Amino acid sequence: MVAFKSVSTPELATLSQIRLTALSRLAPEVADFLEGGAGDEITLAANRSAFSRWGFRQRVMSGRATPDISTSLLGIDLAMPVLTSPFGADGLFHPDGQKAVARANLSAGIAGIVPEAGTHALEAVAEAAPKAARIAQLHPMGPEANFRHMLRRIEQAGYEAICLTVDCPTGGWRERVLRNAFDLDAGFVNGNYPDSGETKLIEVFGQLFERCATVWSWQRLSELMAETDLPWIAKGIMTADDARAAEAAGAGAIYVSNHGGRQLDGVPAALDALIEVKAEIGQRLPILFDSGVRRGADVVKALALGADVVVIGRLAAYGLVAGGQAGVERVHSLLYDEIRTVLTLLGRGGVDELGPDSLLPLPALVSVV
């Protein structure tokens, strides 16, 4: 059993309270940056409402012991089917940023994806918690020489897999950011590029990623990734077509995500896309999922609909703001306990017993804050 070192206080009592505490401590423009989505935020809202369209098909008197929720991904053992996402600008939320997240992951027995556009260099995060900082993020964009250089750094730092964020050839149209004229200091995002006058990724974080002359192709990506033996994950997949293309390009895992509603507004909820992708991929590759997850029951629903691992971004950021490493540890502890509680009440002995038959479509949408 995992021995969490989480601390329960009124501010950290529940996941919803951790969120409220975090938002109350952030400047309004930073809270908008964290909470906001693209365009009219239709997809942002859809991500949450999608979970309310599914209920649980409960089975009782199962005779089962306490559920085992441990799993693994690409050879990485996880105490629960959860990773932390590569959210950048992490120093906005706490000075230790992803280093604190990595240490919290270590105490929870899980791992995290370390961002390219982070406050701290990928080597520094790995040094903070080498057994938890296992996957590094890269954006397939910009000069190939820079991409190759980052591949070598990731290998030398001891990472075991690479998460390629394929849905960000440019930044989403984020109107909360525009309204606030929010201009993020480059120091929050250039931890991996400390010697550059501006970051590779961000020109003006008030809105846009650096414009690339050409959006990369699957073929170009496949050729470059053939230069490393590390397995890679394709993040930002929302259709069966792209899942097939990523698999053909050599991806070792598919990551269903609409970037938490922050990229292209008007795309479906990621939970709906998960069903389509699972139908295509089946058991051939592991599937990761994010977007709209706010509690352990959401994790269970995503697992039942086809995810092997669920990735948390905003939840981890809330914990970071509310309590630093201890706040993220508390997020993990609450998720761990709720996932096991839901599985127990479902009559399931482990996450491997979850499937579509664990859920029922609800007849009407439930209002979700």
Rounded distance between C-alpha atoms, residue 153 and residue 313, angstroms: 24
**Which residues are known catalytic residues?**
259
Q: What is the pLDDT of residue 10?
A: 79
pLDDT of residue 32: 97
* Annotation: binding site: 86-88, 137, 165, 174, 235, 257, 259, 262, 290-294, 313-314
Q: What confidence tens digit (pLDDT) does each residue in 26-48 have? A: 999 999 999 999 999 999 999 99
CA 209 centroid distance within chain = 19
Q: Are 184 and 198 in contact (CB under 8 A)?
A: no
Question: Residues annotated as binding site for glyoxylate?
Answer: 174, 259, 262
Q: Phi and psi of 317, rounded to 5°?
A: -65, -40
**Is pLDDT of 212 > 70?**
no
Tens-digit pLDDT profile for residues 251-289: 999 999 999 999 999 999 999 999 999 999 999 999 999
User: Does pLDDT of 239 surpass 60?
Assistant: yes
Q: What is the pLDDT of residue 194?
A: 82
Give residues with Cβ within 8 angstroms of 313, minimum separation 6.
Answer: 84, 85, 87, 260, 290
Q: Is the pLDDT of residue 198 over 90?
A: no
CA distances from 193 to 95, 111, 207, 239, 332 (A): 18, 24, 20, 33, 30
If you average pLDDT over residues 123-147, what whole number do you get?
Answer: 94
pLDDT top residue among 209 and 323: 323
Residues contacting 84, CB < 8 A, separation 6+: 101, 105, 110, 111, 112, 113, 311, 312, 313, 316, 328
Position 208 pLDDT exceeds 70: no
Are 169 and 181 within 8 A, CB to CB? Answer: no
Give residue 3's pLDDT: 42
Position 214 confidence tier, pLDDT thresholds 50, 70, 90: confident
Instruction: State the DSSP code for 95.
Output: T
Please give the annotated binding residues for FMN, written as ranges.
86-88, 137, 165, 235, 257, 290-294, 313-314
Domains in the chain, CATH or no CATH each: 12-347 (3.20.20.70)
